[in-house]
């Protein structure tokens, strides 16, 4: 039987004309990487790489004859491999990988990134993030380790797949009638991902069939559904039940979870050893406290609760908010409505990406399916394109002379580049330009992708209002300056209650202290964003300070978190612990570092208001770390950072007698 590698090679060479046709249309950089990996030919890399100027596919100027040379060589290489059932080539040594990676993205990829990139792209092994038992699992009491996961979205899926792999029993509780979480709930027109899709998918479940570089919601939701089915997770999900409360029973070292059927009926209780929240940060809409909102007699709904039964064609529509949801929804409905009034409180920055509206070429689709390593190298490129590249430019330079507008030279250059794009789009409309250019540095709020927003503002049926809203009447929106907009429909694109994390559930830890008691209304903290003292056997995915705001895919963070949690569970099972709880000093030192680091970053800029911060201006939601740093921080579960107890025993730090680990020192962050 041939290997998966050989099967792909055989498919690739079966029809040379089809292969050549696909290569003629496919991206050159991943093609080049495949060629170098198959042949070890670094000379061709040196020849082509100077024409690659960045990680995005549109940032290359490789001359056509050189492209053809790469294609011809690749055809030959594949044909060579097809003969005699040749095994795959060995993984190139780190120094060669670094040369390849750097050449492929037209920038020096630092050496420290190589391990994470090899892991993310699965270049060295099929499933590098699987957590494997160190003892014979048949002899371990896995049945005692029941896990309850709250939420059947992306995070719940990632957790469930790994638990299943380890043989740990689990149940997912989901309030909705099916899977998908935020990708189920957000059904507004134009809803799409703005992270490149071949990276915004689980590394263990790559999807070769994305039809767009940035797919629309239905396709993403379909991917989630397919993954739930492919890994046979759906039968572990109880749909239509909402967790109201979970309380830790210290005597039993177990969580008692209360749930309520959404359709009505009696509350129910479930018991489990470990509780994992996978509810995300963006699942409870924020409804603005505008006087008169409840008196509006037309249709009014939030983007995350889109009412598709309300026809918008020919209607006078107001949209309040100009964040990521508005950026996608407003341009999508503008052509069909009679009038659209957009209420902007503060402008957002938006970047142009030529691939944003494009479909994936037939050539790329073919290569993804049939050419070994093509998908892995494409994933690497997109990881790099949307990754840590901007992180350094989001740090405040204390000597910078224009601190209101930007943070440092690179950030200022970014600002000018963004303004140039808007100016071009607005075609000389200086009044509009003044209204939409933010007064704060780029990346202060979430960087958006321009979804033809500025062109939309130029439409004759669209009005941009930038003054404050005074009140809402039964038929209109009245502004503080007295302007009244009579409207039929109001759409609230006003975001989510992100800092009120895990609300409205009540999570009661040791001594009955709830997360709300510890965090207050909106001040969540956790060690590595996952676990908090006083809450044994409780973990969060996408918890405090784990949102990504400089780049990257949140699924990368989910995978880091899931691996860490699985390692913690492995420790519990293998050591026979009934409970595990992070040490307060470890938690506090980490959070001190998070706060200190955030203070020097763009999210804390005094001119910025955003959902990244709570009402006291503390950054509660967003991670200050590079992807690489968070990967390092979560790569290995460190037992000494926790207290643990076997049944009936008192909690203690494992390996007592060893020096206590200083968390702050362990953080090898830049
Ligand atoms: P958001 O970014 O929080 O934007 C909310 C908007 O509503 C802001 O413009 C805000 O103004 C405005 N607003 C809030 N309260 C208001 C009030 N009382 N009066 C007037 N305006 C008010 O929310 P979002 O657009 O739903 O996006 C949230 C997050 O979801 C995004 O940052 C992103 O992480 C995620 N998301 C991602 C995608 C994607 O991948 N493409 C799409 C949608 C959402 P201020 O700025 O002045 O506060």
Q: What is the pLDDT of residues 481-515, one digit of tens each?
A: 999 999 999 999 999 999 999 999 999 999 999 99
654 confidence band (pLDDT: 50, 70, 90): confident
Question: Alpha-carbon distance 609 to 228, whole Å?
Answer: 37
Q: Is the CB of 346 under 6 A from ligand 1?
A: yes
Q: CA–CA distance from 556 to each of 122, 195, 256, 281, 388 (Å)?
A: 13, 12, 31, 16, 13
Long-range contacts: 634-637, Cβ < 8 Å, 24+?
Answer: 634/528, 634/530, 634/560, 634/561, 634/563, 634/564, 635/560, 635/563, 635/564, 636/567, 637/564, 637/567, 637/568, 637/570, 637/571
Confidence tier at 297 by pLDDT (50, 70, 90): very high
Q: 235: how many CB neighbours lie within 10 A of its CB?
A: 7
Does 144-284+499-666 match 293-353+397-492 in CATH topology?
yes
**DSSP per residue over 614-663, as a string?**
-TTS-B-SB--S-HHHHHHHHHS--GGGEEEE-TTSPPB-TTBTBPPP-H
CA of 319 to the centre of ligand 1 (A): 12
pLDDT surpassing 70 at residue 662: no
Confidence category of residue 479, pLDDT binned at 50, 70, 90: very high
pLDDT value at position 389?
Answer: 83
Q: What is the pLDDT, as a whole number, of residue 670?
A: 41
The answer, yes or no, to whether any atom of ligand 1 lies below 6 A from the CB of 208, is no
152-156, 581-585, 658-662: segment of lowest average pLDDT: 658-662
CA–CA gap between residue 579 and residue 342 (Å, rounded): 52
Q: For residue range 246-295, what is the model confidence (pLDDT) as tens digits? A: 999 999 999 999 999 999 999 999 999 999 999 999 989 999 999 999 99
Please give the DSSP secondary-structure letter assigned to residue 444: S
**What would the mean pLDDT of 41-54 be, rounded to a whole number?**
97
pTM: 0.96
Task: Tell me if 325 CB under 6 Å of ligand 1.
Answer: yes
242-258: pLDDT as tens digits: 999 999 999 999 999 99
Work out the pLDDT band at 428, boundaries 50, 70, 90.
Answer: confident
pLDDT of residue 669: 43
User: Facing residues of 464 across strands?
Assistant: 342
Which residues is 469 bridged to in the sheet? 479
- Whole-angstrom Cα distance, residue 476 to residue 293? 10
Regarding the beta carbon of 71 and ligand 1, being less than 6 Å apart is answered no
How is domain 293-353+397-492 classified at the CATH fold level?
A: FAD/NAD(P)-binding domain (3.50.50)
Q: Is the CB of 622 under 6 A from ligand 1?
A: no
Which of 185, 290, 324, 549 to probe ligand 1 with, by most ligand atoms within 8 A of CB?
A: 324
SS (HEC) of 186-248: CCCCCCECCCCCCCCCCCCCCCCCCCECCCEHHHHHHHHHHHHHHCCCHHHEEECEEEEEEEE
Closest-CA residue, ligand 1 atom 14, reads 494
Question: Of all atoms in ligand 1, which is nearest to the CA of residue 195?
Answer: 40
For residue 218, pLDDT beyond 70: yes
Domain borders along the chain are 4-128+362-388, 144-284+499-666, 293-353+397-492
Looking at the DSSP assignment, which residues form a beta bridge with residue 579?
645
Distance 377 CA to ligand 1 centre (A): 33
Q: How far is the CA of 491 from the centre of ligand 1 (A)?
A: 12
**pLDDT in the model for residue 663:** 52
The percent of residues in the chain predicted with pLDDT above 90, rounded, is 95
Predicted confidence (pLDDT) per residue in 358-389, tens digit? 999 999 999 999 999 999 999 999 999 988 98
Please report which confidence band the pLDDT of residue 2 belongs to, taking 50, 70 and 90 as the band edges: confident
Q: Say how many Å lie between the first and final Cα of the chain, rounded.
A: 48
525 confidence band (pLDDT: 50, 70, 90): very high
CATH number for the segment(s) 144-284+499-666 = 3.50.50.60
pLDDT of amino acid 387: 85
The answer to whether residue 587 scores a pLDDT higher than 90 is: yes
DSSP alpha helix (H) spans, 85-207: 94-105, 114-121, 154-166, 182-185
pLDDT at 658 over 80: no
* Cβ 284 under 6 angstroms from ligand 1: no
557 lines ligand 1 (CB under 6 A): no
pLDDT(426) > 50: yes
Which of 464, 495, 549 to probe ligand 1 with, by most ligand atoms within 8 A of CB?
Answer: 495
- Using pLDDT thresholds of 50, 70 and 90, give the confidence band for residue 35: very high
Residue 657: pLDDT above 50? Answer: no
Number of H helices, E strands in the chain: 21, 21
Average pLDDT over residues 462-488: 98
């Amino acid at each position: 039987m041939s290997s998966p590698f050989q099967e792909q090679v055989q498919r690739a060479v079966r029809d040379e004309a089809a292969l050549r046709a696909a290569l003629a249309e496919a991206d050159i950089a991943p093609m080049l990487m495949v060629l170098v990996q198959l042949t070890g030919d670094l000379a061709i890399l040196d020849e082509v790489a100077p024409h690659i100027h960045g990680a995005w596919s549109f940032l290359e100027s490789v001359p056509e004859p050189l492209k053809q040379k790469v294609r011809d060589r690749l055809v030959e290489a594949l044909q060579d491999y097809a003969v005699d059932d040749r095994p795959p080539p060995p993984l190139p040594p780190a120094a060669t990988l670094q040369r390849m990676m750097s050449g492929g993205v037209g920038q020096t990829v630092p050496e420290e990134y190589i391990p994470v990139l090899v892991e993310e792209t699965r270049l060295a092994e099929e499933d590098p993030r699987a957590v494997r038992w160190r003892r014979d699992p048949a002899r371990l009491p896995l049945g005692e380790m029941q896990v309850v996961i709250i939420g059947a979205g992306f995070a719940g899926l990632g957790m469930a797949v790994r638990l299943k792999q380890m043989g740990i029993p689990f149940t997912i509780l989901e309030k909705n009638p099916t899977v998908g979480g935020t990708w189920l709930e957000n059904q507004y027109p134009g809803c799409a991902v703005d992270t490149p899709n071949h990276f915004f998918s689980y590394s263990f479940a790559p999807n070769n069939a994305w039809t767009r570089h940035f797919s629309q919601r239905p396709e993403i939701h379909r991917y989630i559904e397919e993954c739930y089915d492919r890994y046979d997770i759906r039968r572990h999900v109880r749909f239509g039940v909402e967790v109201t409360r979970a309380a830790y029973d210290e005597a039993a070292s177990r969580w008692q979870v209360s749930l309520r059927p959404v359709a009505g009926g009696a509350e129910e209780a479930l018991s489990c050893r470990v509780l994992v929240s996978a509810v995300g940060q963006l699942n409870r809409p924020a409804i603005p406290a505008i006087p008169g909102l409840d008196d509006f007699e037309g249709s009014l709904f939030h983007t995350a609760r889109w009412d598709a039964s309300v026809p918008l064609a020919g209607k006078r529509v107001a949209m309040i908010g100009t964040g990521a949801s508005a950026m996608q929804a407003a341009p999508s409905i503008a052509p069909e409505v009679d009038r659209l009034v957009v209420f902007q409180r503060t402008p957002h920055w938006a970047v142009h990406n030529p691939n944003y509206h494009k479909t994936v070429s037939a050539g790329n689709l073919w290569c993804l399916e049939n050419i070994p390593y093509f998908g892995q190298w494409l994933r690497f490129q997109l990881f790099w394109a949307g990754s840590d590249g901007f992180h350094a430019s989001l740090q405040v330079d204390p000597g910078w002379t224009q601190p209101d507008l930007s943070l440092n030279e690179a950030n200022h250059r970014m600002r000018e580049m963004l303004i140039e794009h808007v100016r071009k789009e607005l075609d000389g409309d200086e009044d509009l330009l003044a209204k939409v250019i933010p007064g704060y540095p780029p990346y202060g709020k979430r960087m958006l992708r321009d979804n033809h927003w500025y062109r939309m503002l130029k439409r004759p049926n669209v009005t941009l209002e930038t003054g404050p809203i005074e009140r809402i009447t039964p038929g209109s929106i009245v502004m503080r300056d007295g302007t009244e907009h009579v409207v039929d429909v109001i759409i609230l694109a006003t975001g989510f209650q992100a800092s009120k994390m895990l609300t409205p559930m009540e999570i009661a830890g040791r001594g009955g202290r709830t997360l709300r008691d510890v965090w207050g209304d909106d001040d969540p903290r956790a060690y590595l964003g996952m676990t908090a003292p006083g809450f044994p056997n409780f973990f969060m995915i996408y918890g405090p300070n784990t949102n990504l705001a400089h780049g990257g895919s949140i699924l990368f963070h989910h995978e880091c978190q899931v691996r860490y949690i699985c390692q913690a569970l492995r420790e519990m099972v293998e050591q026979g612990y009934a409970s595990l709880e992070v040490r307060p000093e470890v938690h506090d030192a980490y959070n001190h570092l998070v706060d200190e680091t955030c203070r020097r970053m763009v999210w804390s800029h005094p001119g910025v208001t955003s959902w990244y911060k709570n009402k006291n201006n503390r950054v509660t939601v967003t991670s200050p770390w590079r992807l690489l740093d968070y990967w390092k921080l979560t790569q290995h579960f460190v037992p000494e950072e926790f207290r643990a107890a076997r049944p009936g025993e008192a909690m203690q730090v494992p390996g007592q007698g060893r020096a206590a680990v200083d968390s702050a020192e362990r953080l090898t962050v830049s």
